[in-house]
Amino acid sequence: MANKDIVELGKKNYMSNYSQFPIAIKSGKGIVLTDEDGKEYLDFVAGIAVNALGYGNEDEKKALFSVIESGVFHTSNLYYNSHAVHAAAMLNELAGSEEVFFCNSGAEANEAALKMARKYGSAKGKSVIISFQHSFHGRTYGAVTVTGQDKYHKGFAPMLPDVVYGEFNNLDSVKALADEHTAAIIVEPLQGEGGIIPAQPEFLTGLRKIADEHDALLIFDEVQCGLGRTGKPFCFQHYGIKPDIMTLAKAIGGGLPMGAAVAFTKAKGIFSPGDHAATFGGNVASSALAEVVLSKLPELSKSVEINGEYLGKKLDEIVEKYPELCISARGMGYMRGIELKINPRDVISECMKNGLLVCSAGYTVLRFIPPLIATKEDIDKAIAIVDKSLAALS
C-alpha cells in the first residue's frame, strides 16, 4: 500500500489523539528507514529514543528468532523465565542497584515508583511527592499528575492528591516544599519532553541531600535519558550520586514494549507479594531483546560519549549560522536540542522532505535523539540536511 492509503485508513479508524506526519514506515536497516512509497530517511528520532541499536541488528534478530523457536512468547509472573532474570541481573550490575520490577512502559514504571514511594511513606505517616515544572513522566493518572505541565492536565481533573511542583534547577524552590510529609522527589536528570534541559550538578546533589534530610525517596526518571543515551549507561552516573529508585523504558526492550523500576539500597524490599504486578512484565520476547541491548551498553555508551560531543559541536555551528531562526543548542550525548525562534514542525517537515527524521520537544525545541549506533558520518549527513532545510526556511 502507498503512504497515502495507509494514512487515510489510519485517519478513518484511529482516535485523533496524535498529530501524525503523513508517512508510513515500512522497513529499516542500520539507521535508515524506508517508507511505503520507497523514500529513505536518515533516522534521528529512533522511535522516540527507543531504537538504540537501529534497525535489523543481527544479534537482536537472533535473540528474537530463538524466542520464536522456543514457542513461548509469554509465561506470566507465576513462573520465572531465563531472559527476564538475566536482564534484571545485568541491570543491577550496570546500575549498582539491588532489585528490578519489569513492566511495559515508562508511565507504568513511574506508577510502580510512585506506589513504592506512597508505601514507603505510609509506614511513616507521609504521602507528599515533589515533582517539577516542565517535567514529563507519562500519561497514566499517577504519571500525568507528577508531570508538571498544565497542557497535560487540562480537561482531566482531578489529579492524584498530595503532589507539589518545584522549579527545575532551583534548589530553594524544593527546600520551600520539603518537610516531614515528603515521601519522595521525582525528577528527570535530563528533562526530555519539557525541552531537553539538563539538571545542574549542584541541583541533583542538592536533591539527594534534601531527600536524605527528610527521609524521602529520590526517584530518577531515566525513561528517556537512561540506557546509554547521555554517554554513560545511566544519566545519574555523570553526577556521582545514586537515586533510591530509577525508572526505565523506551530503549530497554530493543523496540518491544518494556519498562522497569529499579530499586537501590534504601528502596529495597518495599514491595511484598501482592503489592504490585503487571501481567506482561518481564515478557519473554522483550526480555530477550533487553539482554542484547544491556550487553552492548558499556561499549555503546563510550561511543555516544565521544560522538555526542561532536553532535553538540555541530549543532552549535548550526545555531551560529542561523541566528534569525535559532536561539541555542543544549543537551548531553545523543539527547540534544536546538531552541528555535520558529515552529519546530516547519523544520521537521522540511527535513523530512530532504530525507531526515527529527522531532520536537515542547513547542520550541528541535530534538535530536538518533540510534546510539549513529556514527560521525551519520551526524555529518544529518547536519547537512538540517543546514539545507534551515536555509530554505530563512
Point out which residues bind ligand PLP (CB under 6 A). 105-107, 110, 136-138, 188, 192-193, 221, 223-224, 249-250
Q: Of 171 and 227, which CB lies nearer to ligand PLP in the complex structure?
A: 227
Closest contact distance (angstroms) between CB of 221 and ligand PLP is 5
Residue closest to 124 by CA, chosen among 201, 42, 184, 43: 184
Q: Rounded CA gap, 291 and 293, in Å?
A: 6
Q: Of 45 and 385, which CB lies nearer to ligand PLP in the complex structure?
A: 45
Closest contact distance (angstroms) between CB of 89 and ligand PLP is 23
Cα 275 to the center of its chain, rounded Å: 26
Q: Rounded CA gap, 220 and 212, in Å?
A: 15
Residue closest to 190 by CA, chosen among 309, 336, 368: 336
Closest contact distance (angstroms) between CB of 95 and ligand PLP is 16
Closest contact distance (angstroms) between CB of 247 and ligand PLP is 7
Residue closest to 87 by CA, chosen among 299, 286, 372, 371: 286
Q: Of 107 and 315, which CB lies nearer to ligand PLP in the complex structure?
A: 107
Q: Of 197 and 292, which CB lies nearer to ligand PLP in the complex structure?
A: 197
Q: Of 20 and 265, which CB lies nearer to ligand PLP in the complex structure?
A: 20
Contact 182, 124 (CB under 8 A): no
Contact 106, 260 (CB under 8 A): no
The alpha-carbon radius of gyration of the chain (Å, integer) is 21
Q: CA dihedral defined by 22, 25, 26, 31, rounded to 10 degrees?
A: 140
Closest contact distance (angstroms) between CB of 78 and ligand PLP is 25
Burial per residue of 279-305, b for 16 or more beta-carbon CB atoms within 10 angstroms, e otherwise:
ebbbbbbbbbbbbbbbbbbeebbebbb
Closest contact distance (angstroms) between CB of 109 and ligand PLP is 7
Q: Of 107 and 288, which CB lies nearer to ligand PLP in the complex structure?
A: 107
Residue nearest to ligand PLP (CB): 106
